[in-house]
Structure 1
């Protein structure tokens, strides 16, 4: 037997992957991140499934439940928020499993920063506006390397998705504007993207903090910053009728043929 780590998706219970759903529906034991995972996902579990909320557990307790499940030849699922490759604390869990010679498999999920973009009907990479995305966070109780500060990243003025920082929104704005973003740069804060109680606050860097405070958003929200949120855009070359690639000739070539 082995442990299955499953990305639960950003919130909407239907945004779990098909592979993740299939494993979850067969699980004998589920350890889910109760503070962040939509509990409606547990509806997919079979009757009699043993459920643990990791919000009340430390690392050793989580691993102990996993080890017991494997010894009892039960299918164990570790259900984590969004996709665990971003702020998922998955590394420490698999390191402990390695120490105990317990096998595991990782099934990716849909990150909240992807769910947020779809909820807002935007794309992070707009031709000639931004072709890069920075995913980061503000320093809090968990330190951030100095070379990865918001201020240093802001110099690039590219699309940015900032996790785990909405409680310090005023400090975030200060770092971004002093680092290089104009105060008029579009900014959106999205609370619980794709959940039924999703809330969206739109503004610019100079007024977003006030709007977020008025909306009483303190946690479980993403801060999105960049001109990709603005009104300027350019069409891509991908569907330009004059752009030739291996699958399509130009309109002039078609006329000649």
Structure 2
């Protein structure tokens, strides 16, 4: 019998942010391969007694693939537990191609990204009417280069929300790119380390001018999300543009307008 390999998003760290489906699969797994350098080990506590559990932090891609293939030959359900969502900054396709070639069935269960967990931890929204309706998920170039046209300066020129992964050690480069793109020194910047991790989460608010100094003071040098957005701090703004979906002046198929429609800005 050949089993099925499930790539399960563990979410940002809090085990309760696993999806119900992910938790159910862990509870029925014969083997679990988890990313111990990033995934809170508590997530593996959902696995049953006798389940073979392996931390992948010391393994190469080839070793992980071989382990999954071996376990799929012995168990009906094998789980690869990945940080956040498997489709974002994970070696998903690199691991599924050998499985497909070997005739092993596999599927993906999405997870909560640290980008959304960080915004939630700080009580922030990533989009606002008439401010920005676009969120860019990106990173600074490191060992993995950025494709042409995707350097942070070019993306920052849009003025949209930027969720910058895997870049806290390059915060000075983030600052340089935002300045080159025209962002003001007082632009708000949010950094969240280990978003949702019980007892370990840190939230740092600052500006383009001082965010590096503030992060240094908090000794944040790993596992942190950087959010640069014109929406940050909106809870304290004196006025906000209303969402048209909930405006009493707009009708839709579930509600009739009860007031004149607001004017559309020129």
Question: Into which bin does the TM-score normalised by the smaller protein fall?
Answer: over 0.9
Which of these residues, 107, 110, 113, is aligned with residue 108 of structure 1? 110
Say which is worse superposed, 219-228 or 113-122, in terms of deviation.
113-122
Is it true that 1:239 corresponds to 2:246 in the alignment?
yes
TM norm structure 1 = 0.95
Of 38, 41, 44, which residue of structure 2 is paired with 1:39?
Answer: 41
Q: Gaps (5+ residues) in structure 2?
A: 261-266
Q: Among 148, 156, 172, which residue is 1:154 paired with?
A: 156
- Pick one of 248, 257, 265 that aligns with 1:250: 257
Cα distance per residue 1:113-144 (max 9 Å; x no partner): 11111111111111111100010000111111
Q: 1:51 maps to what in 2?
A: 53
Q: Residues of 1 paired with 2:147 and 2:219: CA distance? A: 29
Separation in structure 2 between the aligned mates of residue 85 and residue 66 of structure 1, nearest angstrom: 18
Instruction: Identify the residue that residue 131 of structure 2 maps to in structure 1.
Output: 129
The answer for the alignment partner of 2:264 in structure 1 is none
Matches within 5 A, 1:11-30: 11-30=13-32
1:29–1:74: 8 Å Cα contact kept in structure 2? no
Q: Residue 56 of structure 1: SS of its match in structure 2? A: coil
Equivalenced residues, count: 253
- Tell me what 2:201 maps to: 198
Gaps of 5+ in 1: none
Return the alpha-carbon distance in structure 1 between the equivalents of residues 124 and 8 of structure 2.
26
CA displacement at 1:167 relative to structure 2: 0.5
2:145 corresponds in structure 1 to: 143
Give 1:226's match in structure 2, choosing from 221, 224, 229: 229
Q: 1:180 corresponds to which residue?
A: 182
Of Structure 1 and Structure 2, the greater helix share is in 1
How large is the RMSD of aligned CA atoms in angstroms?
1.3
Q: CA deviation at 1:146?
A: 3.0
Could you tell which deviates more after superposition, 95-104 or 199-208?
Answer: 95-104
Q: In the TM superposition, what is the alpha-carbon distance from 1:44 to its structure 2 partner?
A: 0.6
Q: How big is the shift at 1:252?
A: 4.9
Rounded Cα–Cα distance in structure 2 between residues aligned with 1:72 and 1:51: 14
